[in-house]
Amino acid sequence: MTDRQNRQVAVFGAGYIGLVTGACLAELGHRVVLRDIDPEKVRILRAGDVPIYEPGLGDMIARNKERLRFTLDLGEALEGAEVAYVCVDTPPSVSGDADLSRVWSVVRSLAGAAHLRAVVVKSTVPVGTGARARAALDEAGLTGTGYVSNPEFTAEGRAVSDFMNPDRIVIGSDDPAAAALVAGLHEGIDAPVVTMDVRSAEMVKLASNALLATRISFANEIATLCENTGADAMEVLGAVGLDHRLGPHFLRPGIGWGGSCFPKDSEALRQSASNTGFHPMLLSAVIDVNNIQKRRAVQKLKDVLGDLAGLEIALLGMAFKPGTDDMREAPSTVLASRLAAEGAHVRCWDPLARQGEAEPWLSAARYASPDEALDGADAAVVVTEWPQLKDVDWARAAAAMRRPVLFDGRNLLDPVRMRELGFTYMSVGRP
Ligand SMILES: NC(=O)c1ccc[n+]([C@@H]2O[C@H](COP(=O)([O-])OP(=O)(O)OC[C@H]3O[C@@H](n4cnc5c(N)ncnc54)[C@H](O)[C@@H]3O)[C@@H](O)[C@H]2O)c1
Q: How far is the CA of 431 from the centre of ligand 1 (A)?
A: 41
Q: How far is the CA of 319 from the centre of ligand 1 (A)?
A: 18
Q: CA 23 → CA 7, 18, 39, 184, 402, distances in Å? A: 14, 8, 19, 17, 48
What pTM, to 2 d.p., does this model score?
A: 0.95
Examine the residue annotation and report whether 348 is marked as an active-site residue of this protein.
no
Contact 58, 93 (CB under 8 A): no
Q: Does 189 share its domain with 288?
A: no
- CA distance linking residue 379 with residue 312, whole number of Å: 7
12 within domain boundaries:
yes
The answer to the question of residue 215 being in a domain is yes
Number of CB atoms found within 10 A of residue 141's CB: 13
d(CA 410, CA 429): 10
Ligand 1 atom nearest 122 alpha carbon: 10
Q: Out of 24, 87, 226, 261, which one is annotated catalytic?
A: 261
Strand order in the sheet with 118-121: 68-71, 31-35, 8-12, 83-86, 118-121, 146-149, 169-173, 193-196
Q: Could you tell me if the CB of 126 is within 6 A of ligand 1?
A: no
Are 55 and 158 contacting, i.e. CB atoms less than 8 angstroms apart? Answer: yes
Q: What CATH number is given to the structural domain containing 50? A: 3.40.50.720
Tell me the β-bridge partners of 172. 149, 196
Supply the pLDDT for residue 361: 79
Amino acid making up residue 4: R
Q: Are 178 and 253 within one domain? A: no
Q: Is the CB of 327 under 6 A from ligand 1?
A: no
Distance 17 CA to ligand 1 centre (A): 6
Residues 234 and 100 grouped into a single domain: no
Cα gap 197→202, rounded to integer Å: 9
Q: Are residues 142 and 231 in the same domain?
A: no
Using most ligand atoms within 8 A of CB, pick from 20, 37, 88 the residue to mutate for ligand 1.
88
SS3 category, 171: strand
Tell me whether residue 22 is in a domain: yes
Q: Is residue 113 part of a domain?
A: yes
102 C-beta closer than 6 A to ligand 1 = yes
In a mutational test of the pocket of ligand 1, which residue from 260, 267, 324 has the highest number of ligand atoms less than 8 Å from its CB?
260
Residue ranges making up the domain that contains 72: 8-196
Q: Is residue 203 part of a domain?
A: no
Residues 239 and 330 in one domain: yes
Report yes or no on 201 lying in a domain: no
Amino acid 2: pLDDT: 56
pLDDT (0 to 100) of residue 37: 98
21 lines ligand 1 (CB under 6 A): no
Query: Which residues does the chain have with pLDDT short of 50?
Result: none
Q: What is the pLDDT of residue 391?
A: 96
Alpha helices (runs of H) in 81-197, residue ranges in sequence order: 101-109, 129-139, 159-164, 176-185
Q: Which of 143, 170, 196 is the last residue of a domain?
A: 196
> What confidence score (pLDDT) does residue 431 get?
87
Same domain, 93 and 226: no
- Answer yes or no: is the C-beta of 17 below 6 A from any ligand 1 atom: yes
Q: Is the C-beta atom of 156 inside 6 A of ligand 1?
A: yes
Identify whether residues 192 and 94 lie together within a single domain. yes
Q: Where are the alpha helices (DSSP H) in 324-431?
A: 331-341, 359-364, 370-374, 394-400, 415-420
Task: Indicate the SS3 state at residue 314.
Answer: strand
Q: Would you say the CB of residue 124 lies under 6 angstroms from ligand 1? A: yes
* Structural domains of the chain, count: 2
Using the mean position of ligand 1's atoms as its centre, give its distance from the Cα of residue 74 in Å.
17
